Amino acid sequence: MNLILHRFALPLKHTFRISTGEVSVQETLVVELRDGDHSGYGEATVSGTFSITMASMVELLEANRGRIESSSFTDPAAWWDELDPVLRANRFAQCALDEAAHDLWGKRLGKPVYQLWGLSLDRVPVSNFTIGIDTIEVMVAKLKEVPDWPIYKIKLGTDRDLEILTELRRHTAAPFRIDANTSWTPEHVLRLAPQFRDLGVEFIEQPLKPDQWDEMRRLKPLAALPLVADEACQTEADLERCPGAFHGVNLKLVKCGGLTPARRMIARARALGLRVMTGCMTESTVGISAIAQLLPLLDDVDLDGAALLAKDCAEGVKVERGVAKFPQRAGTGVELDRSRLS
């Protein structure tokens, strides 16, 4: 088996701003596992918020190239457990390798990954589309560019949050989800949540800093809307603290280390009585196609990463108006754009 690393710099349609930073070109690492007959692909994006660089991901994978290439796995989940001691230092890189292993596994067996897990696409959630922070006029214009999505996620964390949402509501009847990305205080939540509920908001993601567990526990029974953990719930170890502080969790594959731990986290979250969502980190179609395999297990999903890009690097699961369209291919359904290979 050969390990091949592809580096891409993918331009976005618009500069994407949240309360903690912005990006206009998304650097991303695509891992390819090639066994001669098949290639499996996985992805992890560079993230300043989580101090993940292209160099740090490549360095870890190169340091373990011999072990990776000499492996002969039949079960990607067992392979994840085998490699975890040496890869856990960088969950993003670990995620890209795990997604590639699942894609290769499915292609070897000639079936989509979700089918190999015994899942069906009969009932799956639709995806939201995310509107990043900008001037109110620009945020309205972004919404009007995609007027037919069933749900919108609105990034907030400004001194005009209520004004932004009030104006956006004038232009769509679709439900909203709010993501404050750790920028609020408890007082913000108590003051804004009732007004946001009246404006058609379903829930609020990560209003406080991820270490403010005591504040979240006090806030949960008082909030007028459900509260969903994101930055506070990154790995399996974080889940146990969530039920007392949040109503649900938004799991990110790159943060937890891939599809293998994500499936365990979903099962445990269900056992803990939590609403379960999976989100993205502006991945291309490579990462989005991997996340889409989890759709039958989820209440909510954020699959709009590739839809935010001006230029993609692959074909696979395509999200149209919030609905995931699966290709007639095995694995996660990914085929890389060979004209863009590094």
- Shared domain for 105 and 129, answered yes or no, is no
Residue 210 tokens read as: 């991820």
Residues 159 and 184 in one domain: yes
Specify whether 192 is located in the same domain as 94. Answer: no
**Residue 342 domain flag:** no
Q: State residue 280's pLDDT score.
A: 96
Residue 339 lies in a domain: no
In the predicted structure, residue 20 carries a pLDDT above the cut 90: no
Please tell me the predicted confidence (pLDDT) of residue 342: 52
pLDDT band with cut points at 50, 70 and 90 for residue 49: confident
Same domain for 262 and 173: yes
Instruction: Look at the block and give the residue holding tokens 């937890």.
Output: 256
d(CA 242, CA 193): 20
Residues 146 and 50 reside in one and the same domain: no
Residues 164 and 212 in one domain: yes
Q: What is the CATH number of the domain that holds 83?
A: 3.30.390.10
The answer to whether 285 touches 257, Cβ cutoff 8 Å, is: no
The residue-averaged pLDDT of 328-338 equals 94
Q: What percent of the chain has pLDDT over 90?
A: 96
Name the domain boundary from 60, 87, 115.
115
List the domain range (segments joined by +) for residue 182: 119-332
- H-helix or E-strand spanning residue 113: helix 113-116
CATH of the domain at 265: 3.20.20.120
CB under 8 Å to 56, separation ≥6 — which residues?
Answer: 90, 93
Q: Cα(27)–Cα(282) distance, rounded to whole angstroms?
A: 10
- Tell me, yes or no, whether 66 and 169 share the same domain: no
pLDDT, position 338: 75
Whether the pLDDT of residue 36 is over 90: the answer is: no
Q: Is 80 within a domain?
A: yes
Mean pLDDT of 174-188: 97
Q: Are 204 and 186 in contact (CB under 8 A)?
A: no
* Mean per-residue pLDDT, 186-196: 97
Does residue 290 lie in a domain region?
A: yes
Segment holding 248, helix H or strand E: strand 248-252
- Whether residues 318 and 239 share a domain: the answer is yes
pLDDT of residue 340 exceeding 80 = no
pLDDT of residue 32: 98
Shared domain check, 277 and 176:
yes
Residue at a domain's end among 94, 115, 136:
115
Q: Residue 119 is encoded by which pair of tokens?
A: 């899942």
Is this model's pTM higher than 0.85 or not?
Answer: yes
> Residue 226, exposed/middle/buried by CB under 10 A (0-12, 13-18, 19+)?
middle
Tell whether the model's pLDDT for residue 10 goes beyond 90.
yes
| Domain presence at residue 71 | yes
- Do 164 and 15 sit in the same domain of this protein? no
Using 50, 70 and 90 to split pLDDT, how confident is the model at 339? confident
Whether 107 and 140 map to the same domain: the answer is: no
Average pLDDT, stretch 164-192? 97
3-state DSSP assignment of residue 15: strand
Residues 130, 146: Cα–Cα separation, whole Å? 10
- Give yes or no: residues 124 and 205 share one domain: yes
Q: Give the total number of structural domains in the chain.
A: 2
Q: Note the pLDDT tens digit of each residue in 74-125.
A: 999 999 999 999 999 999 999 999 999 999 999 999 999 999 999 999 999 9
Q: Report, as an integer, the average pLDDT of 230-243.
A: 96
Residue 340 in any domain: the answer is no
* 341 occurs within a structural domain: no
Q: Over the stretch 62-75, which tens digit does the pLDDT of each residue have?
A: 999 999 999 889 99
Answer for the pair 116, 105: CB distance below 8 angstroms, yes or no: yes
- Give the tokens for residue 269: 């979250």
Domain stop point among 100, 115, 130: 115
Q: Is residue 130 part of a domain?
A: yes
